[in-house]
Amino acid sequence: MGIVSAERALMETQRAFDHVAPGYDRSNARNPILCAMRARTRATLERLVPAGARILDLGCGPGTDEVPLARRGFDVTAIDWSAAMVGEARRRVEEAGVGERARIHHLGIHQLEELSPDVFDAAYSSFGALNCVDDLPAAARAIARRLRRGGVLVASVIGRVCPWEIAIYALRGDWPRAVLRFTRRRVAVPLDGRTVWTRYYAPGEFSRVFAAAGFTLTAVRALGLLAPPPYLEGLAARRPRLVARLHRIDDTVGAWPVARGWGDHFLIVLRRT
């Protein structure tokens, strides 16, 4: 596929997520790999930020995290670029009776300046929402302006080095696909017949962008290093004990030097200084 403009990439990504929004939460909830990754990302946020804190969720999708965060006492403001996802999230928080503690806005991360001028204790982004931002340095500066000094950003980001993916496609002889994540350009990723445009990052390059915006790296670990990536949910269904054990091993080795830069995603904590 040829080079596309940032505007076209944003619109195609928005339409893709609009299309899958009605069943997105249900499909994610049935995927044990996704559930394990989400649980670790949210647990990191909850460990670092006290109840009652104000949280900005960047790319909230159908609001899967908003209800549990609100019920734990957090005050949540969430944004998403997909109008259909926003509709799902608003319905979910209202049905759960937590609408007063979880407010959902139809804004992309690239439109963060349009949000009311609030300051938050923490920002949170799960499952690669920041990978879909075309201008990450501009987004980092906008996020910094919305966080108090000492506030944290907790994000799971799609990484460059996924051992499972490299091995799978190398064994098939599909070398372009095996090394796809190493490209520096915007990449078209299929989603239910539509296209999501994304960029892949290594933890070092991601943290350097945020360092330029006034953040300090606090922690990083791999998600999906030995455990398989989410699209291998069939394997998790056949071998649930094995995959659960691999997640537990990842909890240790995923924080080791070198290994923490690999995996389907990496979980990163950055503090605004």
Q: Provide mean pLDDT across the span 193-210.
A: 97
The count of other CB atoms within 10 Å of the CB of residue 249 is 12
* pLDDT, tens only, 218-261: 999 999 999 999 999 999 999 999 999 999 999 999 999 999 99
Extract the runs of DSSP E, i.e. beta strands, from 107-181.
Answer: 120-125, 147-158
| Burial degree of 187 (CB within 10 A; 0-12, 13-18, 19+) | middle
> What is d(CA 46, CA 41) in angstroms, rounded to the nearest whole number?
9
Q: What is the pLDDT of residue 181?
A: 97
What's the pLDDT band for 2 if we cut at 50, 70, 90? low
Average model confidence (pLDDT) for the chain? Answer: 96
* pLDDT, tens only, 61-117: 999 999 999 999 999 999 999 999 999 999 999 999 999 999 999 999 999 999 988
Q: What is the pLDDT of residue 3?
A: 75
Q: What is the pLDDT of residue 11?
A: 96
Q: Over pLDDT 90: what percentage of the chain? A: 97
> What is d(CA 69, CA 200) in angstroms, rounded to the nearest whole number?
28
